[in-house]
Amino acid sequence: MSVPESRRIVLFRHAKADWPQVTDHERPLAERGRMDAAEAGRRLADTAIPFDLALCSTAIRTRETWKLAVHEFQHRPKTVYEERVYEASPGELIALLNETPDDVQNLLLIGHNPGVQGLADVLSGSADGDARERMSRRGFPAAAFAVLSFSGSWKTLEPGVATLLDYWAPSE
């Protein structure tokens, strides 16, 4: 009998966006967002999680966030720009994650609120240390990320099966 494989998911909200006269999908990062995205990238690199795959919303602000964050990584994971991440609900994000091939052990999702925060809340049936308290207190501001783990295949990912291992937000 085999032991279920432990997997990690990092849920990363895009950094602070600007509000120019463009569609929501086309909004770029604000100057503060560019700085926070790079800092989040350094913090993600510090986790030493060897990401196999990054799923990134197609919105300009998520793409810019990812470009600045991944620059801080020693090894760049395969990146898929996925339209379904944009404006997705937690349930839609779970359905998308259920499609992940089982050779992917560690996945990074770069998306938007309220979906990303809702997904972190709904997946985490338990938490290490004070991660849940910090996430509850801060919410999920721009450039924040949550690190979760679960055991089993991606097809078995569902509400409550993950453990919230860590949480970080700018000026945390």
Q: Which helix (H) or strand (E) segment is 63 a member of?
A: helix 60-70
Predicted model pTM: 0.95
Which tokens go with 87?
A: 């404006």
87-133 confidence digits (pLDDT tens): 999 999 999 999 999 999 999 999 999 999 999 999 999 999 999 99
User: Residue 171 — very low, low, confident or very high, per pLDDT cuts 50/70/90?
Assistant: confident
Task: Please determine, for residue 73, whether its predicted confidence score (pLDDT) is greater than 70.
Answer: yes
Task: Give the pLDDT confidence of 10-33 residue by residue, as tens digits.
Answer: 999 999 999 999 999 999 999 999
CA-to-CA distance for 101 and 49, rounded, in angstroms? 18
Contacts with 164 (C-beta within 8 Å, 6 or more apart), sequence order: 120, 124, 126, 127, 128, 131, 132, 135, 146, 147, 148
Give tens-digit pLDDT for 137-158: 999 999 999 999 999 999 999 9
Backbone φ/ψ region at 76: left (φ over 0), alpha (ψ -120 to 50), beta: beta
